[in-house]
């Protein structure tokens, strides 16, 4: 039974995930900003490592939650000889299937297993321990990963071989982007026609066009003009780009998700790297000359 779990990447979502891990397991953490490592260790009774290798050496299972698969591979390679037979890396990064394959091969050569396990549910879901986790890997590695991520997951599902978890997450993000863009465009037009944005959402949410975007994101962020920053538009743009590549690599049309990717890339250039993903709607509003209220 796993007792020692390491966590690498204490970002907005990684921190609360790691906090749940520290409640259940002997936890060792590392982050590029060491002040964050020290603060987390003090607040959560975890051990502070001075390097990725320190986390790997102290752990049976290691969890990564980083910006991209590129950083994951760099960190895994930095740990080098610290990896040993019987360990497991659970990568909760919203990465790409190809990157997962490279990481898995590197670890397999050292006797360690790998499961790509991206999450959905945002910072709020991480804080509540109610994330959805999509897991790619062998049956054995996935089963072991599910036991560990259970401490911060409401639902954890083995969806296929290595890379499948990242693929499912990327497609999910593509659908999220499409829904934000479509709802923003449609509601902007309705407001210009004299329809209250709030009233339109009430009707749509009792009809066939409803989605999580119309039921939760727009009422809590757009029509009330709050714009909380919980997930960066830049990261969604990155994820949707991965989804487009998956479609193109597999000979599948990418008309809808490709359109969303182009639109989100433009919004990223306009709004910058720190904007929240739902602030994409501000670009639609600017072009339409209207606010959705």
Domains and CATH numbers, the chain: 4-162 (3.40.50.720), 167-288 (1.10.1040.10)
For tokens 């999450």, name the residue.
119
The reported pLDDT for the residue numbered 2 is 86
Return averaged pLDDT per consecutive 10 residues of the chain, 293 residues in all: 94 97 98 96 96 97 96 96 96 96 96 98 94 98 98 98 98 98 98 98 98 97 94 96 97 98 98 97 98 97
| Length of the chain, in residues | 293
pLDDT score of 67: 93
CA angle 216, 219, 222 (to 5 degrees): 115
Say what the pLDDT of residue 256 is.
98
> What is the distance between the alpha carbons of residues 239 and 209, in angstroms, rounded to a whole number?
24
Q: What is the pLDDT of residue 228?
A: 92
Per-residue model confidence (pLDDT) at position 98: 94
The Cα–Cα gap between 256 and 285 comes to: 21
Q: What pLDDT is attached to residue 107? A: 97
Q: Residue 1: what pLDDT?
A: 78
Q: Output the pTM of the full model.
A: 0.95
pLDDT at 274: 96
User: Which residues are catalytic, by number?
Assistant: 169
DSSP of the chain: ---EEEEE--STTHHHHHHHHHHHSEEEEE-SSHHHHHHHHHHHT-EEPSSHHHHHHH-SEEEE--SSHHHHHHHHHHHGGG--TT-EEEE-S---HHHHHHHHHHHHTTT-EEEE--EESHHHHHHHT-EEEEEES-HHHHHHHHHHHTTTEEEEEEEESTTHHHHHHHHHHHHHHHHHHHHHHHHHHHHHTT--HHHHHHHHTTSTT--HIIIIIIIIIITTT----SSBHHHHHHHHHHHHHHHHHTT---HHHHHHHHHHHHHHHHH-TT-BGGGHHHHHHHHHT----
């Amino acid at each position: 039974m796993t007792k020692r779990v390491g966590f690498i990447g204490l970002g907005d979502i990684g921190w609360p995930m790691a906090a749940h891990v520290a409640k259940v397991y002997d936890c060792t953490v590392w982050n590029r900003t060491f002040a964050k490592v020290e603060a987390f260790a003090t607040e959560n009774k975890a051990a502070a490592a001075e390097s990725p290798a320190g986390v790997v050496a102290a752990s049976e299972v290691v969890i990564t939650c980083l910006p991209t698969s590129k950083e994951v591979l760099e960190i895994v390679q930095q740990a080098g000889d610290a990896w040993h037979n019987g360990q497991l890396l659970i990568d909760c990064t919203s990465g790409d299937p190809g990157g997962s394959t490279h990481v898995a091969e590197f670890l397999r050569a050292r006797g360690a297993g790998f499961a790509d396990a991206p999450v959905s549910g945002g910072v709020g879901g991480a804080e509540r321990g109610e994330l959805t986790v999509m897991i790619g890997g062998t049956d054995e590695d996935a089963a072991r990963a599910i036991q560990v991520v259970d401490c911060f997951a409401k639902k954890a599902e083995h969806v296929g071989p290595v890379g499948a978890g990242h693929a499912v997450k990327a497609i999910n993000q593509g659908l999220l982007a499409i829904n934000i863009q479509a709802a923003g465009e449609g509601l902007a037009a309705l407001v210009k026609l004299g329809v209250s944005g709030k009233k339109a959402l009430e009707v749509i949410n009792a009809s066939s066009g409803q989605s999580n975007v119309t039921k939760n994101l727009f009422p809590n962020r757009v029509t009330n003009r709050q714009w909380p920053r919980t997930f960066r538009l830049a990261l969604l743009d990155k994820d949707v780009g991965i989804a487009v590549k998956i479609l193109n690599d597999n000979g599948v049309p990418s008309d809808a998700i490709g359109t969303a990717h182009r639109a989100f890339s433009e919004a990223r250039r306009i709004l910058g790297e720190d904007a929240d993903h739902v602030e994409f709607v501000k670009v639609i509003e600017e072009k339409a000359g209207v606010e959705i209220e």
